[in-house]
Structure 1
């Protein structure tokens, strides 16, 4: 056995080991590339799916935004219509306001008070008159304060009568007609 040369066999063994190593290395590299490719395809599919969902949500959001703007527009129209209806109701109820004011003034003026001037400026009513006594004038003031239609009485002045008619005192006052909302609430109460 001393004459057996093992060098070529070892060389062949090394060559085969190198080939196996290169084959295994190439296999591992291919497996890594394949797994990376598959992972990339998987995440690309997930990304595409998410993009589809995002696009769908964006289209739905834009459709809902249009509906919201339509609803806001309808709310504006509704508010305008309600405002018009309130104005029409106010005009309808204030149509007879002059008559109601005159009727209420006749109710609040007691005997012994004579009105010489009654003037209306918007919601303000200015009254000039003569009174037989201050008690009758205070009765009138109380009746104005308890009126459903009149409010905010301001007594301007009371002047004792001059020499020729000492019995009558001149007075001036002003009061206001209550706003429509307050009149309607008071009238609707039982």
Structure 2
């Protein structure tokens, strides 16, 4: 017996395909929404974590800024203390400079020179006096330039012939009035020069072994 289906099967298949298409579309939309929700949740979590890290970094930076301020203040205090200490040390060392200056002038002034005036202005000293000859003045310049521990850079300011009457003589003598400007070494520089001069002397005095 032959069975014939007289129902509109084509329309039924078309309806089933549409239904399946809409179901798949709905499932795709739901899956897309789920993915979007998951992505949004992950992004929010990442943003929250980054914000937490940013807040932590800000707090640490604030603490570091405070520490830097403390260190800067401490450095300024240390520099101020060093400056005061150096000022005190300079005052203590400068007290002996006039004594060293007079002793050095006594040692470096050759015979035939009489000093009349010594005037100190900071690290410069103006020395005025009379000499028997020009050679005595030249010798005084050489001594203060090369042999002096406390004097340096002598500069002849003026020299001129003059007739001077000495206390032990009634007749005027022809002498030379001069003025020399010399530099006064600081105690630290003088100590370094003395140690440098003593080193070659000790090497020169050491015995040689053949």
Give the 5 Å matches for 1:55-66: 55-66=55-66
Of the three residues 177, 185, 194, the one matched with 1:178 is 185
User: Residues 86 and 188 from structure 1, CA distance in 2 versus in 1: closer, same or farther, beyond 3 angstroms?
Assistant: farther
- Give the aligned CA root-mean-square deviation in angstroms: 2.3
DSSP-derived class of the 1:161 partner: strand
Structure 1 unaligned segments of length 5 or more: list them.
Answer: none
Partner of 1:169: 176
Partner of 1:135: 135
Which deviates more from structure 2 when the two are superposed, residues 60-69 or residues 15-24? Answer: 15-24
**Shift of residue 113 of structure 1?**
1.0
DSSP-derived class of the 2:163 partner: coil
Structure 2 unaligned segments of length 5 or more: list them.
Answer: 165-170, 199-210
Q: Show CA shifts across 1:46-99 (max 9, x none).
A: 121111112111211221122122212211111111122221111111111111
Give the 5 Å matches for 1:116-127: 116-127=116-127
**Shift of residue 100 of structure 1?**
1.1
Q: Distance in 2 between matches of 1:108 and 1:102?
A: 10
Q: Distance in 2 between matches of 1:4 and 1:92?
A: 129
Give the 5 Å matches for 1:3-18: 4-7=5-8, 9-18=9-18
Partner of 1:154: 155
TM-score normalized with structure 2 length: 0.78
Is 2:72 the partner of 1:78? no
